[in-house]
Amino acid sequence: MPYYFDTSALVKRYDPQENGAVQVIGFFSSPVAVFTSVITPLEVVSALRIKERNSIFTANSVQALVRALDLHLLTDYELLIPQPQTYLEARRLLLTYKLRAYDALHVATALTITSAARIPPSQLEFWTSDQDQAAAATAEGFTVTLV
């Protein structure tokens, strides 16, 4: 089964203190490739920097975590570039569900994967820690793991 990770789930790989981090870190204990959007690395770095500004992480810790992220980008993640149709799908999702823009873009990107692979959404496992996004992804037919 293919996997899609939203930023809210993926950031838990880099912050073991977050709720759900044990499950995410455990998932990556075996080699597996996951799909995510090209925006995800930027969102992860942003989240880490916010933690630094809030004195949760030191600057050195954030630099080390960003280096780990960069390595994982080469080995563990398949980044998808949203196409025009993806943005139209995200707009539809925004008009249908209670979502923020980037959350809609993540669900739309996952829908693009299932469409390109000609598989039903139920055959892609969508990981998130956002309740509203999980509800939308479930309504769109995905198998959802809420962490």
Q: Which domain holds residue 120?
A: 1-147
Give the per-residue pLDDT at 31: 87
In 22-47, which positions are buried (b, 16+ CB within 10 angstroms) versus exposed (e)? Answer: eebeebeeeeeebbbbebbbebbbeb
28-47 pLDDT per residue, tens? 999 888 999 999 999 999 99
Reading the block at residue 137, the tokens are: 């992804």
CB 15 within 8 A of CB 139: no
The 10 Å Cβ neighbour count of residue 70 is: 11
What's the structural domain count of the chain?
Answer: 1
Whole-number Å distance between alpha carbons of 91 and 145: 23
Q: Considering the chain, what percentage of its residues have pLDDT values greater than 70? A: 100
Q: What is the pLDDT of residues 64-79, one digit of tens each?
A: 999 999 999 999 999 9
Its pTM surpasses 0.85: yes
Instruction: Write the CATH number for 86.
Output: 3.40.50.1010
